[in-house]
Amino acid sequence: MDMNDGLGRVIGLAMAGKSPWGGGKKPEGEPEVPSTGDDPVQPGKPAADTPADDKPKRKGPRNPWLPVGDEPRRSASIEDIFKHRGPEGPRRTIGGGGGPGFRLPERPGGKSWFPLAIGAIVAVWLGFSMIHQVGPKEEGVVTTFGKYSRTLTPGLNVTFPWPIQNVDIEQVSEFRIEQIPEGTAQKLMLTGDQNLVDLSYIVRWSIKDLKQFRFELADPEATLRDVAEAAMRASVATKQLDDVLSGAGRADIEGSVLTRMQAILDAYQSGIAVQGVQIRKTDPPKEVEEAFKDVSAAQQDADAEINKAELYAQQVLARAQGDAASFDKIYAQYKLAPEVTRRRLYYETMERVLRNNDKTVIEAQGVTPYLPLQEVRKRPAQNEGAQ
């Protein structure tokens, strides 16, 4: 940590434009060159050229790497340039490394920072690549120079650092879900009776052997999808359309797809356990949806027709039973006194009938009387008027 603090301080000072390592640490015998001087002094080479003389040479943008001031760079030897760029020069804080003059800052104790920096990097590297936390649903495969060594179980595990050992942690017991087809696009499958059905389904799976899952298949997920697709179409092709659309057929298909998939994946040594196959929807293709709807409409129509007939049947029967019952009641009375009952019924009926109708009694026998036809016809006329 102290090293980090030290670095932070160094950087902070550099940003402030000051020399972070103060005076006294400079190489001896060299004058201090201010980092922001208007008139830098080059030892052994006093500023001889006047600005006026210099101007024609500097028309373009100023070369930032030239020493500050008007002094042309080539006037000093390479050794001089390096020498005079002491630790305080601008390149020290920006530029990075290389060159014989490169020097790291010193710690307060007078030692180099370098071993500490390397040590810190190594510590971080070791920490990250040696200690592995494996979660409750996870397993990890350890490979030593690419060779399988062991499988890590949940908990804190220690391995050799990268690149000696590499650890690949993967969720194993958690069920993963593969939805086929992705999205809501129509996916038509041919059924055994050469009809088409729009079918979508979900495969739930987990890893049962992480080694196999990692090492056996080039692309396990794609393999799973291919296998699911092949198994599903093979199963659907053995079924009739109506079975596919109905619930019982679906359960059959789900079961057989699961069995088929697991058999194929085991044959590939994929390390995949298929946990379940669920058909999400089985619909008729949208091109023929109307015809399918018409079938259910027809079923409704037929049911409605039958309901009407049943209502009629109830009415007819009830009427028959009512009529029969009332006849029975009267008949029972009739049996007790046949002639009287008969008479009574006759007169009562005649009363009702004749009371409400116009009556004409023709007295003389054998004589055709004058019939008051106008009177007779008046009634129908009145009735029509009343309507």
CB 264 within 8 A of CB 213: no
DSSP 239-296: S-HHHHHSHHHHHHHHHHHHHHHHHHHHHTT--EEEEEEEEEEEE--GGGHHHHHHHH
CA distance 128 to 158: 10
Task: Pick the binder of other proteins from 54, 170, 229, 254 (CB under 8 A).
Answer: 229
3-state secondary structure of 337: coil
Tokens of 252: 């059959």
User: Under rule CB under 8 A, how many of the chain's residues touch other proteins?
Assistant: 107
Q: In angstroms, what is the minimal distance from the CB of 224 to other proteins?
A: 12
Report the residue from 211, 246, 266, 278 that binds other proteins according to the rule CB under 8 A. Answer: 211
Report, in Å, the least distance between residue 73 CB and other proteins.
Answer: 26
User: Smallest Cα–Cα separation from 260: which of 289, 223, 297, 234?
Assistant: 234
Q: How far apart are CA 143 and CA 169, in angstroms?
A: 11
Distance, in Å, from the CA atom of 42 to the CA atom of 69, rounded to the nearest integer, reads 10
Among 148, 174, 181, 255, the residue binding other proteins under the rule CB under 8 A is 148
Sketch the per residue contact string, 160 through 199, with other proteins: x for CB under 8 A, - otherwise.
----------------------------xxx-x-xxx---
Q: Which residues pair with 25 in a beta bridge?
A: none
Among 21, 208, 214, 254, binds other proteins (CB under 8 A): 214
Asked if 353 is part of the footprint of other proteins (rule: CB under 8 A), the reply reads: yes
133 binds other proteins (CB under 8 A): no
Asked whether position 352 contacts other proteins by CB under 8 A, the answer is yes
Handedness of CA 158, 212, 221, 154 (dihedral sign): negative
Q: Which SS3 state, helix, strand or coil, does residue 327 take? A: helix
Minimum CB distance to other proteins, residue 364 (Å) = 9
Cα–Cα dist 254/202, whole Å = 10
Nearer to other proteins, 15 or 345 (CB): 345
301 belongs to the binding site for other proteins (CB under 8 A): yes
Q: Which residues contact 106 (CB under 8 A, 6 or more apart)?
A: 21, 25, 112, 113
- Smallest separation (angstroms) from other proteins to the CB of 72: 31
Residue with smaller CB distance to other proteins, 47 or 196: 196
The CB density around residue 172, as the number of other CB atoms within 10 Å, is 19
Choose which of 238, 276, 281, 283 interacts with other proteins (CB under 8 A).
238
Name residues contacting other proteins, limited to 357-386 (CB under 8 A).
Answer: 357-363, 365, 371, 376, 379-380, 382-383
Interaction residues for other proteins, span 92-131 (CB under 8 A)? 102-104, 106, 112, 114-115
Residue from 34, 179, 321, 340 in contact with other proteins (CB under 8 A): 321
Among 15, 251, 330, 337, binds other proteins (CB under 8 A): 330
Q: Partners of 171 in the beta sheet?
A: 138
Taking CB under 8 A as the rule, does residue 233 contact other proteins? yes
Four-CA torsion 126, 130, 133, 139, nearest 10 degrees: 140
Establish if 15 lies at the interface with other proteins (CB under 8 A): no
Asked if 309 interacts with other proteins (CB under 8 A), we say yes
Residues 29-68 that bind other proteins (CB under 8 A): none
CB 188, min distance to other proteins, A: 7
DSSP 140: E
